[in-house]
């Protein structure tokens, strides 16, 4: 039983580390190689690199708030949620594997952005996509991790709802 627990913990730590590590390595490269607001076309102006330091939340929401409010709302609250998420992830024993993976993506991405906010005072965003009809804001790998985690949770939720709605098969004589 202890071996299963060790494997589970190792898997969770590896997933968290990969999410955080990929985010931080990419941001370190961007900080050293791309100038602020430099625009680099990767795929015909549909996918571009554009380094932006975001002092707000998603799409720079809240970047005009007074510093103390930004500190509480954009650093303090996420720190509390991430600590609770880590506690829940490691203490709750019977979580489905998909839920564990989703939480690793959410928490790993959240830690990546929170780390930036604490160490640098802003979050480094650098990817932008333009799909003719709509375009994304500027984002980073932590944001991708968070969205993947949300996607997995939504998929899991919809799948379990469909499974509950399916009537039990009965045999006809």
**Mean pLDDT of each 10-residue bin along the chain, 173 residues long:** 86 97 98 93 92 80 76 90 96 92 97 95 94 91 96 92 71 55
pTM recorded for the entire structure = 0.86
Interatomic CA distance for residues 93 and 97, integer angstroms: 11
Q: Which pLDDT value is given to residue 74?
A: 85
- Paired with 124 in beta bridges are 53
Q: Which pLDDT value is given to residue 172?
A: 57
Nearest partner of 125 among 136, 154, 92, 135, judged by Cα = 136
In the residue annotation, 130 being an active-site residue is answered as no
∠ Cα 21 25 42 (to 5°)? 125
Q: Which pLDDT value is given to residue 169?
A: 57
Count CB atoms within 10 A of the CB of residue 117: 20
In the residue annotation, 63 being an active-site residue is answered as no
The tokens describing 15, both together, are 């997933």
Identified catalytic residue from 23, 130, 143, 173: 143
Q: Which pLDDT value is given to residue 89?
A: 96
Identified catalytic residue from 23, 125, 130, 173: 125
């Amino acid at each position: 039983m202890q071996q299963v627990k060790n494997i589970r913990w190792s898997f969770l730590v590896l997933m968290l580390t990969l999410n955080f590590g990929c985010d931080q390595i990419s941001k370190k490269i961007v900080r050293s190689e791309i100038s602020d607001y430099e625009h680099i076309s990767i795929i015909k102006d549909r996918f571009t690199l554009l380094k932006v330091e975001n002092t707000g939340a998603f799409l720079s929401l809240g970047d005009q708030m007074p510093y103390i409010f930004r500190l509480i709302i954009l650093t303090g609250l996420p720190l509390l949620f991430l600590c609770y998420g880590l506690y829940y992830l490691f203490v709750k024993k019977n979580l489905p594997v998909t839920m564990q993976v989703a939480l690793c993506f959410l928490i790993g991405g959240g830690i990546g952005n929170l780390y930036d906010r604490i160490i640098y005072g802003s979050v480094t965003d650098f990817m932008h996509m333009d799909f003719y009809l709509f375009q994304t804001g500027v984002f980073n790998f932590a944001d991708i991790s968070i969205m993947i985690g949300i996607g997995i949770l939504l998929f899991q939720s919809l799948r379990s709802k469909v499974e509950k709605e399916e009537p039990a098969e009965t045999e006809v004589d």
